[in-house]
Structure 1
Amino acid sequence: MDAKKSIEALQFFTTGLTNGAFAHLVQGKHFEALGFSKLAEKYIGHYNEEMEWVKKFITRINDLGGTVKIENQEGRELVKDPVEYVKADLAIQEKGIELLYKCVADLKDDPTTYDILKAYLADEEEDLYWSQGALEMIEMIGRENWLVKQL
């Protein structure tokens, strides 16, 4: 097992996921302020779920004898339109899942980290399917009808 490789992967996802989770929190609070309570609940809940993954990644880094870095994060603009945010989030999810597949395959020699990231991958795929389904629903019933369902 190459602990350094596992630590680097976990650190990469810790930093990226912390950034993504915070974006979900900010977007969720924005949707809440607009009155889209179901959409707000979805993204605020997503923030909480993602931070649980961050905790698992940090614990594993510590278990491997690594030191977690508190790294600078790239800023993002708030996406004011809920439908545009679902589209933007889907694009990020697609890239993230592609990275996760590659990373999981590279960590098979560390079964514990492999299992953690494999479970995280499954969770991310669920989120991807939700976003895809939301966009399909928007196309079928229309933007306004979908937004009404998010109240």
Structure 2
Amino acid sequence: MENTIELLQKIGNKILNQANIHDLVALNFEAQGFSKLGDKYKSHALEERDFSQKLFNRILDLGGKICYQNQVSFGVPASPLEWLRHDLEVSKEGLKELLPLVGAASNDLVTYDLLKDYYKDEDDDLQWTQQQLDLIDTVGYQNWLTQQL
């Protein structure tokens, strides 16, 4: 159970960090006039906060203590294209790291279901980002940007 709590603590803090980054990305895009992108990342930040809260609640259910872990400084990429490319790589790495952790939690079905749901949500986000990059290749960056206003 101690390993499960440590695992949840690590993942919960990582998700919370991503939520904070996505809030900043949303602000950045809104300031540039890309309201659809701003809304997308605001919504994504809320989903991530919800997932982190579920993981932290699970820690409490298991009798553990939750803690906030300091995060590393991060400069938000300025352009939407730069951000999408960065976010795609982060998603790929995150899913690669998360998959064995989901399996490791299989002896605790509640934790397993939480992590599995988060994995699915992150995979959906990766697919969306890849779709946007494919659209940019198809319609051109300027045309895609126009759709994000």
TM-score (norm 2): 0.98
- Once residues 68 and 26 of structure 2 are traced to their aligned partners in structure 1, the CA distance between those partners, rounded to angstroms, is 24
- Once residues 61 and 122 of structure 1 are traced to their aligned partners in structure 2, the CA distance between those partners, rounded to angstroms, is 21
- Once residues 136 and 52 of structure 2 are traced to their aligned partners in structure 1, the CA distance between those partners, rounded to angstroms, is 31
* Paired letter, 1:20: Q
Aligned residues: 149
Q: Structure 2: which 5+ residue stretches go unaligned?
A: none
Deviating beyond 2 angstroms after TM superposition, the runs of 4 or more aligned structure 1 residues are: none
Higher relative CO (CA 8 A, sep ≥ 6), structure 1 or 2?
Answer: 1
Q: Could you say what secondary structure the match of 1:72 adopts?
A: coil
- Does structure 1 residue 57 correspond to structure 2 residue 50? no
- Once residues 135 and 22 of structure 1 are traced to their aligned partners in structure 2, the CA distance between those partners, rounded to angstroms, is 23
Q: Could you say what secondary structure the match of 1:80 adopts?
A: coil
**Counterpart for residue 141 of structure 2:** 143
- Once residues 135 and 56 of structure 2 are traced to their aligned partners in structure 1, the CA distance between those partners, rounded to angstroms, is 37
Residue 150 of structure 1: how far off its partner (Å): 0.4
RMSD: 0.7
* Paired letter, 2:105: L
- Once residues 70 and 107 of structure 1 are traced to their aligned partners in structure 2, the CA distance between those partners, rounded to angstroms, is 22
**Counterpart for residue 5 of structure 2:** 7
**Counterpart for residue 127 of structure 2:** 129
Once the two structures are superposed, residues 74-120 of structure 1 have per-residue CA deviations (whole angstroms, 9 ceiling, x without a partner) of 11002110111011011111111111111011111111100110011
**Counterpart for residue 23 of structure 1:** 21
- Does structure 1 residue 35 correspond to structure 2 residue 36? no
**Counterpart for residue 79 of structure 2:** 81
Provide the identity percentage: 38
TM-score (norm 1): 0.97
**Counterpart for residue 72 of structure 1:** 70
Q: Structure 1: which 5+ residue stretches go unaligned?
A: none
